[in-house]
Amino acid sequence: MEKTAKIYIAGHRGMVGSAICRALEAKGYTNLIGKTSKELDLRNQQAVTEFITAEQPDVIIDAAARVGGILANNDYPFQFLMENMQIQNNLIDAAHRLNVQKFIFLGSSCIYPKLAPQPLKEEYLLTDSLEPTNEWYAIAKITGVKACQAIRKQFRKDFVSLMPTNLYGTHDNFDLKTSHVLPAMIRKFHEAKENGHTPVTLWGSGTPMREFLFVDDMAASVVFALENVLPEHLYNVGTGVDITIKQLAETIQAAVGHTGDIVWDSSKPDGTPRKLMDVSKMHALGWKHQVELQEGIQKTYEWFLANIDSFKQVKM
């Protein structure tokens, strides 16, 4: 890929999109374009078509999505299903019709069945039922994966899908109503520390196991996919290592410096019991994560402290 190639990053202001922009700039790419949601509503097919027609990007990286944790997915199922399909379908269709040479679609490990064998292999897609608490988002992302696969199969175009595990890092969402588990814990432990190390109540039993990938490592995988022609349509992106939610909580508690109690509210849902990615396909091609969890949590907490008055808020 030429360093002057025009690359459109959809969702360039989000946690993932901004990390991709930083990674591309660090590699010397000089022709990056992005539009805010106010400048371009990706749910509007005509607006997307007109934008792609005018800009004629060589590459589109789709890091735009309606995202949130268990609570947000459960409370807003229609928005999570419909808006994600609108965003990705408009981008994928315009990229195909207007002959964009490369398309990188980003999804999530929640596309895999709730009780699929562990670790999750790419071929487990659509082999069983999904986790009910986030199936709306998962179904939308599955349609994106299949659309890219269909274009690749029918038209031999370089459309590829990357499915990351749970992502976290700088520029994350720390709104307790809509955030994912790791940033929510950082905020809860921090606020409890500020309030005299009061107890922190967390959802579930603490026994589910989760895998976490620092967002800069995800960005590096996108650059890898950009600079190489990947032989298959779907790749998992993760560390290949998981921990219990209880271990995660204790790691974050130590990083934040909170010394109070942790209370587990077992009346709240645990979600999927385990969700570990098989990342052997990406490893075989030459990509591997670089940031381990403890280091990543420390970097994320430092960013949180530096931006505590202005971190991203998601409004439904």
Annotated catalytic residues are 137
Long-range contacts at 148-152 (CB < 8 A, ≥ 24 apart): 148/92, 148/103, 148/105, 148/233, 149/233, 149/234, 151/92, 151/96, 151/103, 152/233
| Distance from the Cα of residue 240 to its chain's centroid | 16
Binding-site positions for substrate = 188, 203, 210, 270
Say how many residues make up the chain: 316
Nearest partner of 108 among 268, 226, 224, 272, judged by Cα: 272
Residue 277 DSSP symbol: B
Which residues line the annotated binding site?
11-17, 106-109, 141, 164-167, 180, 188, 203, 210, 270
Q: Which segments are annotated as binding site for NADP(+)? A: 11-17, 106-109, 141, 164-167, 180
Give the C-alpha separation, 78 to 208, whole Å. Answer: 27
Contact 153, 228 (CB under 8 A): no
User: Which helix (H) or strand (E) element contains residue 9?
Assistant: strand 7-10
**Residue 18 near residue 12 (C-beta atoms within 8 A):** yes
